[in-house]
Structure 1
Amino acid sequence: MGSFPFKATHLFCWICLCNNLYALQLEPFDSIPVVIGGMVLDIHAKTSLPVHPRTTTPGKIQFIRGGVARNIAECMSRLGCKPFLISVVGHDMAGDLLLSHWKSAGLPTEGIQRCQDVATPTVSNVYDINGELATAIASVEAVEKALGPDWIWQFRRNISSTPVLMVDANMHPHSLESACQIAAESGVQVWFEPVSVTKSKRVASVFQYVTCTFPNEDELISMANALSLDDKFHSIQRLDDNGNRQPIESIFQMFKPAIQVLLKKGIKIVIVTLGSDGILLCSREGPDFIREMVKSSKPSSCGRQLYELMSSRCPINQFVQAPKFKWSSSYPYVIHFPALPASVVSLTGAGDCLVGGTLASVCSGLDFMQSVAVGVATAKVAVESENNVPTEYCLTTVADDARRVFFTAKVLLNQ
């Protein structure tokens, strides 16, 4: 057989081709927020009358798209920030419903795995006549079973290039650790959503990677017990002996020991959600770290309109520049953000929208304090909606509400 006539021009073309392929291989992914966790079909049962045991009660039943990670990601998209969701659903009716909605919203589905041998996660929630969650039954084994390290590893480039990685505690601890390790290798911040009292304990496997977490008061107690390897922390009564609400300074003092456990373990920011009492933003690192935290995250092009609306309403770094405040590393730097008055319809998605609003704002380039104020305003819209995530947000209204929160927030001084 004759040999192939290899010429210098062939060599030159081959080198050019290799260089082009190499350049494509190294081309960075767009800096898109990544959210990992559960997509769930929620069944909401709301009673019209007080519940009596061992009999049916009149009410209303709805099928609603849910899941902590899914809710956070959808909330972000409503605010103009399109995230990349890594999750799992089954080949069933619930999976079809969740995926079709995700596609119709123009959101990427490449990270959502469809499995033949698992059922789409489903949660049945029962609410009392005041809209408070009375009880819930969760069948979400698919997230632990199928959302494993191998699937997450396929999207390591997305995780490595994201401005912030948000993980929810629905995942198996091994999967949580795998995702966090990928983020840590690229210096990506990790935000941890506790999901529930039981699953919040999974923070014990990843606390060394976590930058920020958003527990409610019960999840805070559970996380503190898990990290201290002891059950010395117990639920706290926020009302005084006469049934009156205590001042926020007193409430913080009650939760301070549990908060300190998380901060001393290395979690940089703990945001404790207190329902109608607002939220407590706590950091052992002090105001300078909070200012630099946003600067250190990778830039993202999402949420431009939200950024412009908030920048014109709220001054940057108002709290970290307070001249009369003296901070000590032995005492947490704490800011209280009040809740906004709302006509409550459902409280289920409020916490997820708080996180989604905060994360979308940070990714848009807003100051962290501005971002938390947006989160509170976003949660207010959620509690006035029947859905876990409102079908739409008026960004001007959100920005106006966030401004109210921002200017009524206050630093809790050392005591």
Structure 2
Amino acid sequence: MNEKEFVILQLIQENPFLTQNEIADKMGLSRSAVAGYISALTREGKLLGRAYVLPNKKEILCIGGANLDRKIQAHADIKLGISNLADSSQSCGGEARNIAENLGRLGCESSLLTIVGADHAGEWILEYTKPYVDFNPSLISNDQSTGTYTAVFDKTGDFVIGLADMSIYDSIQEDLIEKKWGYIASSELVILDTNFPAEVLKKVITKCWKGNIPLCVTAVSSSKVKKLPDDLFGVTWLIANKEEAEELSNIVIKEDGDFFKAAELIMNKGVERVVITRGDKGLIYFTQAGEAGAVLPPLVKIADETGAGEALVAGIIYSHLKGLQAEDACKIGSACSLLTIQSYETVNHELNQKKLQEAFKRYFY
């Protein structure tokens, strides 16, 4: 930002209703020159470009999915080709939305850039999430239905199959990132899931790198992670499970050492910190700074594993923003995940800073 841009921004902060002509008179510039400086401030994210709206500083912007999640659990052994008795429930979901809600419950200022339909599901997601998350960056489509994800479980609660109807995300274009750049540029950190098209993911990663904005990428699934570019410079954290890590590293993970080998190969693409989850064996982490290790969680009674990954990401990023090193960040993320799987909600309704601190001390001290 040059000196004239700085002065113009100060004038707008004092009075957002100043016209370009009034700013020009105060500074002894032409109106066209002022318009040029304002355009530059908009590109830099210092203004949102509409009536001189100044962006509110948000700690975290989450970019990606917000769905209606349905869970179906069979009463008996599932048999194909016939009707199976089952119980069903539904909740707000989506990787980015779940992470944003977790962070909001932990006291972080989080916002969400997603797209939902102008339908009952979209309205419910908005109303339910608003107490914890700023939805102003998001879009509402009149042409498409809100995304849905249906998870089917057997009688013991083990996951059988997931069915995703998320074509609404295919409508997102690269130019949206330019239009919403003010929200991205004013964030202390961005979290990106892989629900949006490949060109959009690449655009976010590239612009965050050039803008020196910390970025966390969460993989979502082994099929969607294929949309990530080979060049991952600018990614501060990449968090994936075993299958997603295999896809990114192009190796088969068979032994414990293979997790670290996969993490190193992913770091070779430009990532600063890699976390790979290992189910009930916890996770491993590996960083460009030379930090490496494993976090082994205690055994707990599991109510529902849905949402565990999103809670892990939220806990890690919550810790990262507080300046903690990778090991402690991963332990706090694991504690957040443990709290989630002991509840029946995708995001634990009792989650807060105090609960997380207590869980961290209980499980990892």
In structure 1, the residue matched to 2:144 is: 118
Deviations 1:372-393 (A, max 9, x none): 2221111011112222111121
User: Does 2:234 match 1:234?
Assistant: no
Higher normalized contact order (CA 8 Å, seq sep 6+, divided by chain length): 1
In structure 2, the residue matched to 1:130 is: 156
Tell me the TM-score normalized by structure 1. Answer: 0.73
**Counterpart amino acid of 1:33?**
I
**Counterpart amino acid of 1:59?**
A
Q: Is the 8 A contact 1:370 1:406 kept in 2?
A: no
User: Does 2:351 match 1:381?
Assistant: no
Deviations 1:340-388 (A, max 9, x none): 3222121120001100111123224444433222211110111122221
CA–CA separation in structure 1 for the residues paired with 2:136 and 2:355: 33
User: Does 2:44 match 1:40?
Assistant: no
Match of 2:266 among 252, 262, 267: 262
In structure 1, the residue matched to 2:279 is: 275
User: Does 2:359 match 1:401?
Assistant: yes
Distance 1:256 1:281, change over 3 A: closer
In structure 2, the residue matched to 1:413 is: none
User: Does 2:191 match 1:180?
Assistant: no
CA–CA separation in structure 2 for the residues paired with 1:76 and 1:139: 26
Distance 1:117 1:12, change over 3 A: closer
Q: Secondary structure at the match of 1:75?
A: helix
**Counterpart amino acid of 2:327?**
M
Match of 1:143 among 165, 169, 173: 169
Identity, % of aligned pairs?
23
**Counterpart amino acid of 1:372?**
C
Match of 1:363 among 307, 312, 321: 321
CA–CA separation in structure 2 for the residues paired with 1:31 and 1:98: 21
In structure 1, the residue matched to 2:311 is: 353
Structure 1 position 275, deviation (Å): 1.5
In structure 2, the residue matched to 1:245 is: none
Tell me the TM-score normalized by structure 2. Answer: 0.82
Distance 1:69 1:17, change over 3 A: farther
Structure 1 position 30, deviation (Å): 1.2
Q: Secondary structure at the match of 2:222?
A: coil
Q: Secondary structure at the match of 1:62?
A: strand
CA–CA separation in structure 2 for the residues paired with 1:11 and 1:269: 48
Q: What is the aligned-residue RMSD (CA, Å)?
A: 2.6
In structure 1, the residue matched to 2:16 is: none
Match of 2:187 among 162, 175, 178: 162
**Counterpart amino acid of 1:71?**
N
Q: Is the 8 A contact 1:212 1:268 kept in 2?
A: yes
CA–CA separation in structure 2 for the residues paired with 1:50 and 1:159: 47
Match of 1:89 among 107, 116, 135: 116
In structure 2, the residue matched to 1:75 is: 102
Structure 1 position 11, deviation (Å): 8.9
Match of 2:350 among 388, 392, 407: 392
Match of 1:53 among 67, 77, 80: 80
CA–CA separation in structure 1 for the residues paired with 2:243 and 2:258: 13
In structure 1, the residue matched to 2:256 is: 252
Structure 1 position 37, deviation (Å): 0.2
**Counterpart amino acid of 1:122?**
T
CA–CA separation in structure 1 for the residues paired with 2:24 and 2:286: 59
Structure 1 position 336, deviation (Å): 1.0
CA–CA separation in structure 2 for the residues paired with 1:189 and 1:218: 25
Q: Secondary structure at the match of 1:204?
A: coil
Structure 1 position 152, deviation (Å): 2.4
The count of residues paired between Structure 1 and Structure 2 equals 328
Q: Is the 8 A contact 1:168 1:194 kept in 2?
A: yes
Distance 1:405 1:270, change over 3 A: farther
CA–CA separation in structure 2 for the residues paired with 1:378 and 1:176: 27
Structure 1 position 285, deviation (Å): 2.9
Distance 1:154 1:59, change over 3 A: same
CA–CA separation in structure 1 for the residues paired with 2:287 and 2:319: 19
In structure 2, the residue matched to 1:411 is: none
**Counterpart amino acid of 2:135?**
T
Q: Is the 8 A contact 1:338 1:405 kept in 2?
A: no
CA–CA separation in structure 2 for the residues paired with 1:406 and 1:183: 33
Structure 1 position 394, deviation (Å): 4.6
Q: Is the 8 A contact 2:104 2:132 kept in 1?
A: no
CA–CA separation in structure 1 for the residues paired with 2:326 and 2:261: 24
User: Does 2:26 match 1:15?
Assistant: yes
Match of 1:214 among 226, 239, 246: 239
Structure 1 position 401, deviation (Å): 2.2
